[in-house]
Structures are given as C-alpha cells and as structure tokens.
Amino acid sequence: MNFYNLHIINDFILKKYELLSLNEIKNKKNFLLIKKKICIINEKQSLRTINTLINFLNFFNIKFTIINNKHNFKKENIKDFSRTLGILYDYVFFRSYNDIIIKLIAKFSGSVLVNMLSNNYHPIQSINDIFLLYNNCVYFFGDFNSNVFKSIIVNLTKINKYKTIIFFSPKKYWNYIFLKKIFNTKKIILSEKIIFLNKNVIIYNDVWFSMGENYFKKKINNLINFQINKKIFKILKIKKIFHCLPSYKKKKKYSEIEECIFESNYIFFDKQIIDKIIFLKSYFFISNKVFFNYYYY
C-alpha cells in the first residue's frame, strides 16, 4: 500500500488495490496522531463533506485553518498562491468550482491536495459510497454529468466487475467522451426509459441544483420525468436509495425526489455520513507521506 505524496484530485488517480485497502482497514487499527499543518479552502458551500472533515479533525483535537476568501484566486498569481500554501501547510483540502485550479495548486504548492468536491468530481464522496454500493445492481437517476455520479462510475467500475450500472438520464446529458475514459464501459447502460429488472436495485440520486445555483426552469423541464417518485416503486424492486444531500426543497413539486420518499426508511444518509468519517480515518492512517505520523497501540 503506497499513498506516498498522493493527491486525490479526481477518481482516476486511485488504483483498485488502493480502494480495497482503504475499505479493509476500516475500524481495524487504533492510532495516535501527531499533528500536521492543515488548510481547508472552502470555495463552495458544503453541508456534509466539509463538516464531516471538521468533525473528524475536532474529534482528534487537530488544529486547522479555513480559507473562505475567494479574492486569492481572482487577483493573485495562482503559482505564487500555491507556493505560499506549500510553505504554510502540509495538506490542503479544497472544495472548488475549478478543476484546473486544483491541479495547479497540487503541482506548485508541494502540499498534498485532497479534492473535497469540484465541478467534475467528488472523490471523497465516491470512495466512501462505493463500498456501500458494492456487489449490487446500481440505478442512477438524473443528470449523468453530476460530479458525484462521474466519480462513483470511475471507482465502482474498478471493483464492481460483474454488476450492471444503469443510468436513467436524458440523452442530452450523456457524456460519451467521459465514458471512453472508463475501463469497463460494457457494464454501463444508458437509457431514457426505465429498464425493468427482476432483482433488487440500489438507486443513487443527486440534487438537480447545486447550492447557489439559480437557473431552475430549463433543467426542471429536462429532468422532471426522471424524478424518484411513488411510480418508480411500482416498476423497480428498490432496496435502498442513496442521496447526495441536501435535497432541493424550494420547489418541492419539482425536486429530484418526492418528499415522502426522502423521509422514508429507504434513505439512510446517516450511514453515509458515519462511513465517511471512518474512511477519512482509514485514509489518514495508511498515507505514507506521512499524512500523520502514527504509532500502533
């Protein structure tokens, strides 16, 4: 296992054996942490991902700095900003609008950079969830280009070798260029119509609108027929429903999932949150940088 100086910029960077090692080590080791200098750059609003990280750091009494000031990326030279981060911090956790900026900071800072979410990828969420989805038939509903959808496809196709991944999504959102990058595309089915299955499935759903997004009407018209509602339960045998929080509530009639389903026992986001904390512990533990110097006890 070798996470030496490993940035998690997107999901293509991780190998299958690394994903399996992360899962295997969960809850198996206790360790003491010697603290490193940590910076959290929170450019995008976050309900779950950043708060989970902060919860973990607080639990182990690890100090960290949060940077919320966006002017750094608009006015300062990105190389100089990156080098400044490298001098001040060992590790940078970055939630960003821009994948290019993430790559540049990783390249020029000298710090280990972990992508907590960007426009195209959500690796922390996907690495956490794939082992809850593992060995199940997974049905994705909504926008194929969702960052968490793309991240989960990349990682799930590495470990879910014999299971089918189905996308129930408008054709205009199908991303063939992205699919060509994935090793096992034969197990991915894209469809604008519900595919009937005689086995239990897990549905994975993402919000139609990100925090701060205001252009609703056009997207609602494209996605309204791909909503998770009571009709779906008459067609599919649903085992569980994963939802990348928060659910959009401003226009309940036009949200990605009906309120009664979101509040039902089919949703278990509490398990997703707890497992994310365990994943962060596992990742920190096996990092050979060392993410934290550790001692067995």
Burial class of residue 91, CB neighbours in 10 A (0-12, 13-18, 19+): buried
Q: Report the pLDDT value the prediction gives residue 10, as an integer from 0 to 100.
A: 85
Residues 103 and 204 in one domain: no
Residues 153 and 231 in one domain: yes
Residues 117 and 36 in one domain: yes
Q: Report the pLDDT value the prediction gives residue 2, as an integer from 0 to 100.
A: 42
Residues 142 and 259 in one domain: yes
Bridge partners of 149, per DSSP, are none
23 belongs to a structural domain = yes
Q: How far apart are CA 242 and CA 133, in angstroms?
A: 9
Bridge partners of 110, per DSSP, are none
Residues 250 and 283 in one domain: no
Pairing of strands 293-296, 188-191: unpaired
Q: Report the pLDDT value the prediction gives residue 247, as an integer from 0 to 100.
A: 57
Task: For residue 59, give the CATH number of its domain.
Answer: 3.40.50.1370
63 belongs to a structural domain = yes
Q: Report the pLDDT value the prediction gives residue 287, as an integer from 0 to 100.
A: 59
Residues 39 and 87 in one domain: yes
Residues 60 and 185 in one domain: no
Q: Report the pLDDT value the prediction gives residue 32, as an integer from 0 to 100.
A: 53
2 belongs to a structural domain = no
CA-based torsion, 213, 218, 220, 226: positive or negative: negative
Residues 192 and 286 in one domain: no
> pLDDT tens digits for the chain (297 residues)?
344 457 888 888 888 878 887 777 776 655 555 567 889 988 877 767 788 888 888 877 888 898 876 666 667 788 888 898 899 998 899 988 888 888 888 889 888 888 988 888 888 888 888 888 888 888 998 888 888 888 988 888 888 766 778 888 989 888 888 887 775 556 788 888 888 888 888 888 888 776 555 566 777 888 888 888 888 888 888 888 888 766 555 555 678 888 788 888 877 777 777 777 777 777 766 654 444 444 333
How many distinct structural domains can be found in the chain? 2
Question: Does pTM top 0.85 for this prediction?
Answer: no
Residues 192 and 248 in one domain: yes
Burial class of residue 290, CB neighbours in 10 A (0-12, 13-18, 19+): middle
Q: Report the pLDDT value the prediction gives residue 250, as an integer from 0 to 100.
A: 55
- Backbone dihedral region of 247: left (phi > 0), alpha (psi from -120 to 50 degrees) or beta? beta
Burial class of residue 89, CB neighbours in 10 A (0-12, 13-18, 19+): buried
153 belongs to a structural domain = yes
Residues 255 and 150 in one domain: yes
Residues 79 and 22 in one domain: yes
Residues 256 and 283 in one domain: no
64 belongs to a structural domain = yes
Q: Report the pLDDT value the prediction gives residue 290, as an integer from 0 to 100.
A: 43
178 belongs to a structural domain = yes
CB 285 within 8 A of CB 31: yes
243 belongs to a structural domain = yes
Residue 21 sits in which domain range? 11-121+273-296
3 belongs to a structural domain = no
